[in-house]
Amino acid sequence: MSWNNQGGGPWRSGQGPWGQGPGGAQPPGDLEETLRRLQAALRGFLPSGGGFAGRGVIFVVLVAILLWFAWGFYTVQPNEIGINLVFGANHGKTQAGLNYNWPWPVGTVIKVPVSDQKITEVGYRSELDAAAENGRNRAAAPEESLMLTGDQNIVDVQFRVSWQIDPAAPENFVFNIRHPEETVKAVAESVMREVVGLKKIDGILTTDRQSIEPDVQTRLQKVLNDYHAGVLVLQVQLQSVDVPSQVLSAYRDVTAAQQDQQRAVNDAYTYSNKVKPEAEGAAARIRLEAQAYRQQTVAEATGQTSRFNQVYEQYKNAPGVTRERMYLETMERVLGGMDKTILDTNGVAPPVPYLALDALQPKPAGAAK
């Protein structure tokens, strides 16, 4: 055999097939010498006759084992996380790049796309439609969208949930839930029905729409966390919120009547706010005038009483003089503003005729007035 020509076997002089001895690496020869040694080593393992000999079988087995171990290398993409399984048990996670795990059937690798965003539609189904503005058309699913409000009305709610696999716990997504998309959809529909059932239809159709989305997202995330589903809810978007088409016309009539009622109430409040201040102002003015009149009357009465008391005190001191002064003051007040002629009837001689010349003279307009 060929190894006998090399001095005692395929590795002569204590060297291995790659030119290395038991003491360590040896200086490499040229390329032809290395190839010649490799060919000699392979011929030493291969059988010389027909069929496989023992060394040939061992060589094939070793090559198969090496190939089996090499099969354990795998690549994880940037948007993925690898989960290593050994005999079906979880043995950790691997990040993007080249990684290794035991080959099949000892080990397997599950690659989870944690960065891919998924959309779950509730109450409708998106369909491709070239005639639509965005290229998609929505087909209604009333068995999912019709919900009961807190005031016993029915509302048609269509919404979508954007979610992805939680990068921190992809193993929960793989092992804890069997049908993740169906689970997310069922939980989202249940949570939306709960939130809608707490509100009235008027608020849902108008002012409460902005608060429904974050409320549903928070509740949905909490339920999925309780399930250990490994799902991260990114956003909840209401696509349409309206009353069912069967009662749309009746609801619009009711809404118009409610708006008319509210307008009438507002007009009444406006009139009340206008008339009431005017009435209150008039009442306040009357009260102030009455108080002023009372104060004036009391002040005049107090003054007259004080003057009378003063006159009375003087009258007690000199009755005659006081009586004469009061008489003169009264006559002055009564006769001071009129034309008069005074005759002295106490004299002995007859009265002298008196001609009032000043009455015959024309008076200026201001003086006459």
To which H or E segment does residue 104 belong?
none
Higher-confidence residue of 257 and 159: namely: 159
227-280: pLDDT as tens digits: 998 999 999 999 888 888 777 777 777 778 888 888 999 999 888 888 888 899
The β-bridge partners of 260 are none
| Mean pLDDT for all residues in the chain | 78
DSSP tag of 113: -
Whether CATH 3.30.479.30 fits 118-243? yes
Three-class secondary structure of residue 16 per DSSP = coil
120-148: pLDDT as tens digits: 999 888 875 545 555 466 788 888 889 98
What is the rounded distance in angstroms from the CA atom of residue 193 to the CA atom of residue 120?
16
Helix axes 319-335, 248-317, angle to 10 degrees: 130
CA-nearest of 264, 227, 66, 250 to 153 is: 250
Q: Is the pTM of this model over 0.75?
A: no
Three-class secondary structure of residue 338 per DSSP = coil
CA 312 to chain centre: 88
Q: In the numeric block, which tokens belong to residue 113?
A: 């796309």
* CATH code 3.30.479.30 region(s) in the chain: 118-243
* Contact indicator for 165, 183 with CB cutoff of 8 Å: no
